[in-house]
A and B are shown apart, each in its own frame.
Chain A
Amino acid sequence: MSGLASLLPPAAYSFGGAFEFIFSEQASNVTGGKKVGGIEQVLELAATQVQVSILALLLALLIALPIGLYFGHRGVGELLAVGIGNAGRAVPELALIALVAVVIGVGTLTLVLVLAALGIAPILTNTFVGIRQVDRASVDAARGAGMTEFQILRKVELPLAVPSIMQGVRGASVNIVATATIAPLVGVLTLGEFILNENVYGSDGVLAGAICTAVLALIFEFGLAALQRRLTSKGLKLQQASA
């Protein structure tokens, strides 16, 4: 790769060229006349990235949320829950993806599982912390009012923990969408295809891939922020506004 890069002329990166690459097909040096780029290919790759990201995020939620809720409600396993969050942050995604590709093999299923694993840590930790942060007096009051443990979790602890849980989900989303960018290393073509194959797509393609990835991640971020506003109870919003 480095050998090839040294043969190419020093790349000139320009936003103008990148936008041209996004909206209209370009000639490539190595595809034998076949044109690359253009809005069709961009949308196709973006669709793949959205699909694997959403799948992974849902899978991570499905695993991490119940565990976080259960242990948070019971108040046990704090070291483990927080430890998983810390460990998750320390793992370099590039190395993880590269390792999975060479040891386990390529494919969409492998990719989704790895991405989901990346999302579990932040969701689990933030769910646990969110539930634990609920005022014990509120829980006691709910218990005194005759609520079952499940009702307490569902109607008291969960709504109060929504901001913290959603912070975890947003963290997971950032991580998953970003890592899905290097998915071409496990054979799944996402927008990172433009970034990882500079010899095919040129410097315009690399920058175009970066722009599209950034836009995609921001759409996820704003979408989840809107979801958070919808899920946060009215009372909590009033309290936050007055704080």
Chain B
Amino acid sequence: MSALGGLSGLVHPSLAAIGEVGEGFFKERTEGNLPCQARTSHLFCWDWATEHIDRYGTPTLQQAELVVISVIAGFVIAFALGLLAHRVRWLRPPLLAGTGILFAIPSIALFLLLLPITGRGRETAIIALTAYTLQIIYRNVVLGLDNVPGPVKDAARGMGLTSRQILWKVEVPMAVPEIIAGLRVATVSTVAIATLAVFAGGGGLGTQILGEANLTFPTAIVIAMVIVIAMGLFFDLILLTIQRLLTPWRRVRVV
């Protein structure tokens, strides 16, 4: 400090004229007065986080968009497959095996395997994420439709409903809890997996984790992680609300 203190006295007048440059310039660099992110051991820098939080806005929106589009597409496909399997029983084993294989392929590999076919970009990420949701939603649609008690369907038939009416007015509404349970699992998983969309060039919060600067900086990783978990929770709550709205008879039973 003494050496540095001596130096500050030698500062050229023109430099001193700038004001406090002289003082700040020769400040001793100890762990104490370094900014948090430059210290060797740190877990989370609040200052950095509050200053740079805006850089997470676009990736967060990208990731939410990936999730919403993929889950909706996955739901439409899986629901159609579920209805088909409900009618045509022999289709069940091949459909379960097919969706199961898609589910078993590691997400990161699926993202990359699509690159030669669909190229880098958002569409590739959406296709892979959609493929992931199929197994969970499909299984729950079939389960939900199967669990509708036979007597209920008999009663509906007795009242003169056609098969189509029984499906849409009795079976599907009664399967809603199972279907939404599948959607919730699929959505929360997709939020987490969408972090890997960066490998398909699909953006998202993975961009804030991968890369030299981020990989060695815990704060950047922690923020991305917290946003992903919060996003999963957020979508889960939305689906829970939808389920409550769609199954009013359940609420009555609880009371």
Contact = CB atoms under 8 A, between A and B. Distances in A.
Partners in one complex: yes
Interface of A: 1-2, 13-15, 86, 89-96, 98-99, 101-103, 170, 174, 177-178, 181-182, 185, 192, 195, 206-207, 209-211, 213-214, 217-218, 220-221
Contacts of B224: 92, 95
Interface residues of B, number: 45
A98 B209 CA distance: 7
B190 to A, nearest CB: 10
Contacts of B104: 170, 174, 217-218, 220-221
B210 A92 contact: no
Given A90-B228, A195-B112, A221-B100, 11 more contacts: A1-B210, A13-B115, A13-B116, A90-B191, A174-B103, A182-B108, A185-B215, A210-B111, A213-B108, A217-B106, A221-B101
Interface of B: 43, 100-101, 103-113, 115-116, 185, 188-189, 191-193, 195-196, 199, 205-206, 209-212, 214-218, 221-222, 224-225, 228-229, 232-233, 236
A15 B114 CA distance: 10
Contact of B101 (A13, A89, A96, A218): A218
Contacts of A218: 101, 104-105
A170 B104 CA distance: 9
Contact of A102 (B101, B116, B215, B229): B215
Contacts of B113: 207, 210-211, 214
A101 B214 CA distance: 12
Contacts of B206: 94
A203 to B, nearest CB: 8
Contact of B106 (A99, A103, A206, A213): A213
B185 A94 contact: no
B149 to A, nearest CB: 15
Given A94-B210, A96-B225, A174-B104, A214 B110 contact: yes
- A-B pairs with the 7 shortest C-beta distances? A178-B106, A210-B112, A95-B225, A221-B104, A90-B232, A92-B195, A210-B109
A218 B106 CA distance: 9
Contacts of B189: 89
B112 A206 contact: yes
Contact of A90 (B116, B188, B209, B210): B188
Contacts of A102: 215-218, 221
B212 A92 contact: no
B192 to A, nearest CB: 5
A178 B107 contact: yes
Contact of A99 (B111, B199, B218): B218
B108 A1 contact: no
Contacts of B215: 98, 101-102, 185
A37 to B, nearest CB: 16
B140 to A, nearest CB: 13
A112 B116 CA distance: 32
A181 B221 contact: no
A13 B124 CA distance: 13
Nearest to B41: A103
Nearest to A206: B112
5 contacts: A89-B192, A92-B228, A94-B210, A95-B221, A99-B225
A202 to B, nearest CB: 13
Contacts of B217: 102
Contact of A93 (B101, B192, B236): B192
Contacts of B107: 178
B106 to A, nearest CB: 3
B216 to A, nearest CB: 6
A213 B109 contact: yes
B253 to A, nearest CB: 19
Given A174-B104, A211-B109, A218-B101, A86 B188 contact: yes
Contacts of A90: 188, 191-192, 228-229, 232-233
Contacts of B218: 99, 102-103
A104 B43 CA distance: 11
Nearest to A225: B100
Contact of B209 (A14, A86, A94, A221): A94
B79 to A, nearest CB: 21
Contacts of B101: 218, 221
